[in-house]
Structure 1
Amino acid sequence: MAKKLPLALSSDIRGIAVATTDFIANLTPVEMAEIAAGLIQFLQNKGLAQKYKSGKLRVGIGRDSRISGPELKKAFVAALQKQGVNVIDFDLATTPAMFMSTQFAQFNCDAGIMLTASHLPYYYNGVKIFTKAGGVEEEDIRYIMAHPEIHENNFEGTYQTADLISIYSADLVAKIKAATKDFGEKPLTGWHIVVDAGNGAGGFFAEKVLQVLGADTNGSQFLNPDGNFPNHIPNPDNKEAMASIKAAVLTQKADLGVIFDTDVDRAALVGPNGAVLNRNNLIAVLSKIILTQHPGATIVTNSPTSDHLKDFIVLQGGQQVRYISGYKNVINKMIALNAEGIDTQLAIETSGHAAFKENYNLDDGAYVVAKILMMLPQLKAQGQTITDLIDQLNQPAETLEIRLKINESNFKVYGQEVIDALRAADFVGFKEDEENEEGVRLTLSEPYGAGWLLLRLSLHEPLLVLQVENDEVGMIEKVLPVLREFFATFTELDLAPFDKK
C-alpha cells in the first residue's frame, strides 16, 4: 500500500510530487498555495511588510527539469498573484541563478524561489527559498510551513516572464574574462571541454558560457532537459554519473569534463587522463586555487574528508576546519569564522556543494567550474593540466561506505547512543580524532593498517553512515568484523549491509 510521508523540512522543502505505487503525493498544488502564503508572511516579518501592503513585493520563480515543475510553478504563481505579489517567471533556471535574481538590478527580486529536489528521483520535487541576504534556514522553513493563512493587500499581483539564465551566464562570462584578460577575448580557445548536464537544468553552460569563451564543446551529452532522467542520476557524487562523464572525456580526447547536478548547485570535473575530480580531489583543487590567491586562508569542509586532504591543505599553507555535514552548516561556519576575523574563503562538502566568500557565500556549481576555468589558460601556458594541481595529494588504498538503517522511531537519539558507545569503546588500534565536530572519528593503526573511520547520523534519514579509509590494502576487511560485533549489541540496527560485504 502506498504511504503518505510528511514533507521533509530542512533548509528547503522536499516531497513526493508524482504519486507512485509506493508513495502518495504530498507536494501538490494545494501545498504550493500554502507555501506561497507562508512565504508572504515570512517576507513581511523580514522588513518587507510595507512593500507588500503597497503592492510592490516582487518574487522570482524558476524550476529545474522535473516533470512536476510546470504544474507546481503554475499553482505557486497563481497563489502569489491572488495575494497581491508581483511575479517574474524565469521558468527553466538553476538554484544559484535564482539567488542572483535578487542581486541583478534588472530583476531586483525580494525573493527567489527554485523548484527542485536536486538529485533525488523524478517523482520528488521541492522548494528552495532565497532572499537578498541568501538562503533561508531550517527555522525559517518551519515558520513558513506553519503560516498557510491567505493574505490580502487589495492589489492583484502582476505577472511577467524573463530570461534569467542568459543574464546569469553573461555574468559568469564577464567574471572569467576579467580573470583571464591577458589571454584575449576568447581565453578558452584551443580547449576541448565536454559538459554532462544529466538532463537537468545545466545544459546552458556549454553554449552560453564555454562556447562564448572560445571552447570546443563537441561531445557534450544529456544537455536537453528531461525530468525522467533517462541516462543517469544527475549527481556528481554518483559513481554511474561520474563514469559517464569520464567515458565521454576519454572518447572525445577532451581536455576537461564538467558534470552538474539537476539544479546546478553542485559540480565535478574529469581531467584529460580520466582522473575524477570530485569529493576530496575537488576540494583539493579548489583549496589549491584559493590558497594561491589567499595565502594562509582557512577551508571549511564537512566531516567525511580524508586525512590526506588535511595534510594537502596544510602543505599549501592553509588550515582545514572539519564541520557538520549539510551545505548550510558548512556555509554558516565559514560566515561565522569570517565574523571572528579568521580569513575563510571556501566552504565545501564532499558531495560537491561549494561556496566562496567572494561569491555571496553561495553554493554554486557553475561558479565552481568558472573558478577553475579562470586558471586554465595560465595552466596551459605553464604546460600543466588541472590534475597537476593536486599531484601532492595522496590517495587512500581503499575506501568503504556502509549505511545502517535504524529501526527505532526516535532514530536520532538511538543513533547518538551508538555513536557515544563507539567513542567509549576501547579497541586496540582505534583512537579518537578530536579534531572533528560530527559523530565520532577514529584513527586506525596497527593491527588495522593506517587510516580512519567516521560514524555519523544521516542528516534526514534514519541511518547511521559509516565511512572507512585505509592506506593499506586488505585492512578494511580486518576492521569490519570488529565493528560488526560492536554494532550487533544494538538490536535496532539493520546489519544487512555488513553481511553483503
Structure 2
Amino acid sequence: MSDLLDLKNGSDIRGIALTTDEHKANLTPEAMENIAWGLVHWFREQKTGPLVVGIGRDSRITGPTLAATLTKVFVTQEITVIDFGLATTPAMFMATQFPEFACDFALMLTASHLPYYYNGVKIFAKSGGAEKSDIEYILTHPTPLTPEIGGKSQQADLLPSYSDFLVQKIRDGLAPEISNQQQPLKGLKILVDAGNGAGGFFASQVLQPLGADTTGSQFLEPDGYFPNHIPNPDNQKASESIQQAVLTHQADLGIIFDTDVDRSGIITKSGKILNRNNLIAVLSRILLEESPGASIVTNSPTSDHLKTFIESLGGRQVRYISGYRNVINKALDLNKAGIDCPLAIETSGHAAFRENYFLDDGAYVVAKILSLLPSLQKNGQSLDDLIADLGQPADVLELRLKLQSNQPHALGTQIINDFSDYVTTIPGWQINPENEEGIRISLGAPDGFGWFLLRMSLHEPLLVLQIENDEAGHLPKIRQKLAQFFSSYPQVDLAPLTNQ
C-alpha cells in the first residue's frame, strides 16, 4: 500500500511504467491491478448497480497493456468498459457528458509531458476531475471484491464526437457578420505540432472541416517514444520547432499541444510565442470582453505586467497557488461566493473556462482563439495586436535548487521563512503581500525594477526561483545576493545559482 501511495501525484496517479537502464518501473501491470480495485471501491462509493467506464490513452507504448489490466478487473464488477483507444484528457471528461457514450466515469492513461517511460491515470466523474483526497482513497483501497455478473468490454472512437464539439464551439464564437460561414478559416494556413502525442486529430478533424490549410503541420502521427521533441508547449525546444515551421511555411498561426492535449501553445504569424503571460493576456482580453469586470485566477509566477494589463481591461487578477486543480478550485470558490470568475489558468498553459465545465482543455483554448482569427484577419489585425499593451521584461530567469534532505518540504518552508528576514536587509527589496505561495519580492533600485518569487516545487524536492527584471544587466548582482543568503544552507544545491 505504501508503494502505491508513491504514485500519488497531486490529483492524479503517475509513475514509471517502463524499466530502463536508469529507472525501475513502479507503475507495473501488478500495481495497476491494485489501482483498478481501488477505483472500483471509489466508483461504488458514488454509484451502485451497473456502471459504464470509459478508458482512453495517449500514445505511450505502455498504454495498451495498462488499459487491458484495468479492463480485466472492471468487467468482473458489473461494469461496461468502453475502450476509446487513442484519446485526449479533455475528450475523456466529455465522454461523461456526450449522450452517445454517457460514461459514469472516465480514465485517461497519460503522464502529460514526461518522458516515454512514465505513465499515469487521470480520473473523471460526471461532476469533474478527481481531487487529491480521491487519489489517496483509491491508492489505499486495493482489496479485490467478489465477482459480479454483467460486465463487458466494447470499443468506440471518441475523437470524432469531440472534434464535432470543438468545430461547433468555434462556429458559435464567430463574429455575427461571419457566423453563417461553414468554412470561416478558409484562406488561412494553420499548422499543428502534436509532438507525436494524441493531438494530431486537430488538424484533420477540426481545422480542415473549417477550411484551414494545414500543410506543413508536423509530428501528427502518434509515437510513444516522442522522437522529435518533448510534447510540451512550455519547453523551449518544442516551441522553437513549431515557431520555425510557422515562419518557414509563412503560416497564419501555429498550434502546439502537449501529449494529452490538456495544454496548448500558440505561435502568431510573426513567430511570437503566445505562452505563459502572453497566452493568459490574450485569453483575459477575450473573457473580459464577454464578462466585463470579471476576475481571472492565475498561479503565482505571473508577471507584474500581466496584473497591470488585466486591470487596464477592467478586470482583476487573483494570484493563487500553483497546480491546475488549485487554480480551478479557487475559481470555483470565487463563483460560489458570487464573484464573477470565468477563467482559471496557469503559466504552464493549463486553462479552464467556466463555460466548459472548468475543464483544463488545450484544444478548447485554441478554439476560443480561432473564433477570433477570421475577424482579426478581415480588419487587418493579428493576435499580436491584442497584447500590444502588455509589458515585456528585459531579463527572465528560472532556477531550480535541489534540496538534499529527507524532509525537503520542511527545509524549504524554513528557508522561505528565514528569507523574509533577509529581505529587510537588502536595499530596494520589498515583500509583496499579494501572494499565496512562497515569498514574492518586488525589486527596485539599485537592482533594477521587477520581481522574483521563491517557492517550493509542487512535486519535486526543490525550490523554484523565478526572476523578471525590466532593466537588463542586473541579474548577476541579484544572483550574488541570493547566493549569499543560501550559503547558510548546505543542503541546498547552489550550482544553478552560482554557475553563471
In the superposition, the TM-score normalised over structure 2's length comes to 0.97
1:239-388 equivalent positions in 2, closer than 5 A: 239-388=236-385
**Counterpart position of 1:485:** 484
1:59-458 equivalent positions in 2, closer than 5 A: 59-152=53-146, 154-180=148-174, 182-183=177-178, 184-425=181-422, 426=424, 427-458=426-457
For residues 275-330 of structure 1, the C-alpha deviation after alignment (integer angstroms, 9 at most, x for no partner) is 01000000001001111111101000000000000000001110000000000000
- Matched-pair contact (CA < 8 Å) for 2:116–2:225: yes
Shift of 1:243: 0.3
Task: Report SS of the residue matched to 2:377.
Answer: helix
Shift of 1:153: 5.3
Give the Cα separation in 2 of the matches to 1:57 and 1:362: 23
Letter in 2 for 1:452: W
- Matched-pair contact (CA < 8 Å) for 1:113–1:128: yes
Report % sequence identity.
58
Shift of 1:83: 2.5
Letter in 1 for 2:86: L
For residues 122-180 of structure 1, the C-alpha deviation after alignment (integer angstroms, 9 at most, x for no partner) is 00000000000100111100100100111235314111101100000001111111222
Give the Cα separation in 1 of the matches to 2:4 and 2:299: 32
Shift of 1:9: 2.9
Task: Report SS of the residue matched to 2:342.
Answer: strand
Gaps of 5+ in 2: none
Relative to structure 1, the CA distance from residue 247 to residue 72 in structure 2 (aligned partners, 3 Å threshold; closer, same or farther) is same
Shift of 1:466: 0.3
Give the Cα separation in 1 of the matches to 2:411 and 2:320: 22
Shift of 1:24: 1.2
Shift of 1:82: 2.1
Letter in 2 for 1:345: P
Task: Report SS of the residue matched to 1:402.
Answer: strand
- Matched-pair contact (CA < 8 Å) for 1:199–1:224: yes
The count of corresponding residues between Structure 1 and Structure 2 is 493
Shift of 1:193: 0.3
Shift of 1:8: 3.7
For residues 17-49 of structure 1, the C-alpha deviation after alignment (integer angstroms, 9 at most, x for no partner) is 000122211111111111111111112112x02
Report the more deviating stretch, 31-40 or 193-202. 31-40
- Matched-pair contact (CA < 8 Å) for 2:78–2:151: yes
Letter in 2 for 1:450: F
Give the Cα separation in 2 of the matches to 1:328 and 1:398: 30
**Counterpart position of 2:17:** 17
- Matched-pair contact (CA < 8 Å) for 2:8–2:136: no
Shift of 1:381: 2.0
**Counterpart position of 1:469:** 468
- Matched-pair contact (CA < 8 Å) for 1:172–1:209: yes
Give the Cα separation in 2 of the matches to 1:142 and 1:420: 29
| Runs of 4+ in structure 1 over 4 Å off | none
Gaps of 5+ in 1: none
Task: Report SS of the residue matched to 2:55.
Answer: strand
For residues 318-364 of structure 1, the C-alpha deviation after alignment (integer angstroms, 9 at most, x for no partner) is 00000000000000000000000000010000000000000000000
Letter in 2 for 1:166: P
- Matched-pair contact (CA < 8 Å) for 1:198–1:232: yes
Task: Report SS of the residue matched to 1:139.
Answer: helix
Shift of 1:4: 11
- Matched-pair contact (CA < 8 Å) for 2:76–2:148: no
Give the Cα separation in 2 of the matches to 1:89 and 1:226: 19
Relative to structure 1, the CA distance from residue 26 to residue 466 in structure 2 (aligned partners, 3 Å threshold; closer, same or farther) is same
- Matched-pair contact (CA < 8 Å) for 1:4–1:25: no
- Matched-pair contact (CA < 8 Å) for 2:282–2:386: yes
Give the Cα separation in 1 of the matches to 2:299 and 2:148: 47
- Matched-pair contact (CA < 8 Å) for 2:479–2:498: no
- Matched-pair contact (CA < 8 Å) for 1:191–1:255: yes
Report the more deviating stretch, 21-30 or 282-291. 21-30
Letter in 2 for 1:243: E
For residues 418-463 of structure 1, the C-alpha deviation after alignment (integer angstroms, 9 at most, x for no partner) is 1111112221111000001000000000010000000000001000
Give the Cα separation in 1 of the matches to 2:165 and 2:120: 27
Letter in 2 for 1:121: P
Shift of 1:6: 3.1
Shift of 1:500: 1.8
Give the Cα separation in 1 of the matches to 2:249 and 2:429: 46
- Matched-pair contact (CA < 8 Å) for 2:4–2:139: no
- Matched-pair contact (CA < 8 Å) for 1:83–1:150: no
